[in-house]
Amino acid sequence: MPPESGARRKVVLYNPRAVFFTLPLGLVAVGSHLDPSRYEVVVVDARLEKDPVAALLAQLPGALCLGVTVLTGAPIRDAIQASRAAKAVRPDLPVVWGGWHPSLFGTECLEESSVDATVQGQGEETFAEILARLEAGESLEGCAGCCFRAKDGAARANPGRAFAKVAGFRRHDYSLLPLERYFALKGKRQLDYVSSQGCHFRCSFCADPFVFGRSWAGFEPARVGEELEAVWKVHRFDDVNFQDETFFTYAERVEGIARELVDRKLNVSWAATMRADQGDRLPEEAFALCRRSGLRRVLIGVESGSQEMMDRIRKDIRREQVFRSAEKCLRHGIAAHFPFILCFPGETDESIRASLDMARELRAMSPGFETPLFYFRPYPGTPLTAEAVAAGYPLPKTLEEWADFDFYGASPWVTPEREALIERYRFYQRFGYAAPRRALAPLQRLARWRCERSAFGFPLERAVANFLFPPQALS
């Protein structure tokens, strides 16, 4: 039955299964932007439910629309299952997909018959317009920023929507989520928060330039402080994980946010992303202020220890900027993660060893520094992926094939010898440069010696460490 005139319409948002428990911030963003006097927003997170499909179906009676956020990889499989289940009981229910994968494959996702429309890029304004048109019984023809299935069954792509300044978006409504359940799953009272959208930079392995058009916009510091304080007063979280693509884009804004945290006496720690050039430019006083406000860790993407490879992937940083940023972190007692990406198409042995050497140098600077190693995987929509495809790498063609796409394993062009070297180094640098443990000190020294000389034969200490400290499961 249609709702009574003036009654709020229910909008159901679904987050598929995944191996991590970060908050579904994309759903919070689009759900918060909807007019609360017109819409009742219900979020169903498959990661919180024993039977996600049953939980979803229970919310569908009377719903105007089902929105699903979809990441490339395994979440696609759950998104398909949920969408099909919804259509089985509500054939009339519009199903809209958004998120990274539909942003890159807007019309291709419509090959799944249970999906009626997809959203590209920022979803706040586009999804709100889609709902308004659905309420009015209007077509999605001309609705900027989305693709849709026309009455004749054909997939149609509308023009893109211009990048919107986030200042005009409604405040984040964290009451849409059962935060205490997420805290329990995380094992810590950590709030995930996004204070900006987009990225100015042009890294050729990243889809951001394609999705956001190298645009960036962030909240004013006062808004960040007000939103965080409002949630803190209810939930008393003790850590904030800023999920911005590039949090340290503008130093004055970062300092303003740090002052907000200090002045509001939230007494929380926080972590954020930082480019090496941003850290290099950030004044010492700003580092000190951030530390005083609770900054505990930054993530600085290095990607390669070879300057030639850095230039090839358009990272637009210098090796020396990485070390200068690291030194600043060290002086101010700030931990840092320096991720590396290895085995780009055509990468030489010398380039890979340069990355391993640089990772070792960074790890040796502080037990609080970590250098996670990842294999390059051709993420759709990036220039490097186009190169890989041109060289003969076959990308998945169907949604089901994309659901099997693995971002963590080695790519097909990685030789067994390279993979063995990297996996051995991955273990020894983590073990050898970790915080010293008296009982394991001799083995840690041996592990460091192995990293310095790439001598990985007869790995007795690896067997001992694996016995004493088995690898943690993803959670």
For residue 84, with 0-12 CB atoms within 10 Å meaning exposed, 13-18 middle and 19 or more buried, which class applies? middle
Beta strands in 358-412 (DSSP E): 369-370, 373-375
* CATH superfamily, region 188-414: Aldolase class I (3.20.20.70)
Take residue 262 and report the two structure tokens written for it.
């200090």
**Tokens 């706040």 belong to which residue?**
124
Between vectors from CA 124 to CA 121 and to CA 127, what angle results, nearest 5°? Answer: 90
**How confident is the model over 337-349, as a mean pLDDT?**
93
Q: What are the residue boundaries of the structural domains of the chain, listed by start?
A: 9-149, 188-414
Q: What are 349-375's pLDDT values in tens digits?
A: 999 999 999 999 999 999 899 999 999
- Asked whether the predicted pLDDT for residue 458 surpasses 80, the reply is no
List phi, psi (to 5°) of 33: -75, -15
pLDDT of residue 429: 86
CA distance 229 to 21: 22
User: Tens digits of per-residue pLDDT, 124-169?
Assistant: 999 999 999 999 999 999 999 999 999 999 999 999 999 999 999 9
Contact assessment for residue 26 and residue 18, using Cβ atoms and an 8 Å cutoff: no
Say how many C-beta atoms besides its own lie within 10 A of residue 390's C-beta: 9
What is the rounded average pLDDT of the residues 255-282? 97
Mean pLDDT of 195-200: 96
Instruction: Give me the count of residues in the chain.
Output: 475
Note whether 341 and 379 are within 8 A (CB). no
Q: For residue range 395-426, list pLDDT tens digits in order.
A: 888 999 999 887 667 777 788 899 988 988 88
Beta strand 340-342 with 269-273: parallel, antiparallel or unpaired? unpaired
Residue 27 has pLDDT above 90, yes or no: yes
With a cut of 70, say whether residue 328 has pLDDT above it.
yes
Pairing relation of β-strands 196-198 and 216-218? Answer: antiparallel
pLDDT in tens, 432-451: 888 888 877 888 888 888 88
By three-state DSSP, how is residue 211 classified?
Answer: helix
Q: Distance between CA atoms of 472 and 251, rounded to whole angstroms?
A: 36
What angle in degrees, to the nearest 10, is found between the helix axes of 251-263 and 221-235? 30
Q: Which CATH architecture has domain 9-149?
A: 3-Layer(aba) Sandwich (3.40)
Please determine, for residue 314, whether its predicted confidence score (pLDDT) is greater than 50: yes
